[in-house]
Structure 1
């Protein structure tokens, strides 16, 4: 078995495993390959829902020569990799994408978010993302709009190049949680209003009132916990001397 190159039979087994709902680790054990190899293979070829063995094999064969003599990999748009092996960064990103998809995030949105998370600079331009992910500008634009609505990223104008950059802050998840909490509170308020109109003594009204109270209690607990841990991890960042 030369190197880590997958055969058509390997890819057919991967496709079969995905149809059966197996994890990447289980598929890897079936074909005798590391989980990371299966993860990269699937994410490079459309993800678990769009993976096709024959198409993936043709694409792999077409790039075989390029893999034997790879061009030096540089980070797009000046977003350096901190001296790390680009393959390791790609592996971490692919695993992150898989988990985000399983959590319900659309595939392209997951890819863009993972790309931003795995850059030291925390920001990329549209051109950077198109090159890194090998997708169309339209796909990037749609993903950016979605992630902005989730309060996970923001746009900034580079003062030097005037190019628009997409930025992920260190506490992006906290910001997104708080935005989601505000939306849930609005839902709770709407449930309360609906319960009053229908009558809280009716089955429908009681259902809405119970839903409202449940949401309020859960969101209150979530917000207090998020604010506490945000203060611990982000309000007082470690000094450079502490990280040396």
Structure 2
């Protein structure tokens, strides 16, 4: 029923709508559901191209069964300050994780990043993350290493307790964007070298030459975009450089 959980028939209609090229708003209107319900359902189950009704329904039932199981030690912590609705916050966090996974982040790294972004302090220790996400320290360590490599989090030291803190701030995406541009330049240079080795007049060489030029130009565009908006992040960026 409208407002309740999606049924298998609802999911089949979503799949049919996607196959017909309908947008989320139109599909939601036909189901008498909020557009956010449809977009969350599709993103959580592989995106518009990979969405399959039966598979999505089975996955949802599996998640529901797991939620009914008693926690291993303590329930995951949700920040209910400022009168937040814990259930609404949980659903938002799950949706954020699903979207981050669609962008290419591993799921555990996505969970860590979402946890940090939905924490008012924006900073947690490895022990905090282990407790909040109910996972092993090894899982947190692997996720942290990946996020640091992508420059999506910062590592600091809490002077009071001499513990390492992992944090996010407004400048994190600026730094990550610059790092992504730098990777584009590295790939462009590698592709250019490949074109030289393969021969620029050969099909493979021409392909590498195109890739090199494309990545070089998009890398330059990314740097120009970052510089254009840098003034919004000047305080945070300056603090990082000092």
- TM value normalised by structure 1: 0.68
Structure 1 spans left out of the alignment, 5+ residues: 64-70, 238-244
Greater Cα shift, 118-127 or 30-39:
30-39
1:187-226 matched pairs, under 5 angstroms: 187-226=187-226
Relative distance call for 1:13 and 1:32 in structure 2 (3 A) is same
Name the residue aligned to 2:101: 101
Name the residue aligned to 1:235: 234
Greater Cα shift, 28-37 or 163-172:
28-37
For residues 14 and 133 of structure 1, the distance between their equivalents in structure 2, rounded to whole angstroms, comes to 31
For residues 37 and 178 of structure 2, the distance between their equivalents in structure 1, rounded to whole angstroms, comes to 36
- SS of the aligned residue for 1:120 comes to coil
What's the offset of the Cα at 1:195?
Answer: 2.0
- SS of the aligned residue for 1:152 comes to coil
Name the residue aligned to 2:50: none
Name the residue aligned to 1:170: 170
CA displacement, residues 90-142 of structure 1 (integer Å, 9 cap, x when unaligned) = 23322211211222222111111111112221111112212222222222111
- SS of the aligned residue for 1:156 comes to strand
Name the residue aligned to 1:181: 181
For residues 164 and 216 of structure 1, the distance between their equivalents in structure 2, rounded to whole angstroms, comes to 37
Relative distance call for 1:206 and 1:133 in structure 2 (3 A) is same
- TM value normalised by structure 2: 0.68
Relative distance call for 1:103 and 1:54 in structure 2 (3 A) is closer
CA displacement, residues 12-71 of structure 1 (integer Å, 9 cap, x when unaligned) = 77998999998999999999887878999999xxx74896466545444456xxxxxxx9
Structure 2 spans left out of the alignment, 5+ residues: 47-55, 237-242
1:1-150 matched pairs, under 5 angstroms: 48=45, 52=59, 55-62=62-69, 75=79, 81-82=81-82, 84-150=84-150
- Aligned CA RMSD, in angstroms, stands at 3.9
- SS of the aligned residue for 2:169 comes to coil
For residues 131 and 35 of structure 1, the distance between their equivalents in structure 2, rounded to whole angstroms, comes to 34
For residues 138 and 200 of structure 1, the distance between their equivalents in structure 2, rounded to whole angstroms, comes to 47
Relative distance call for 1:234 and 1:162 in structure 2 (3 A) is same
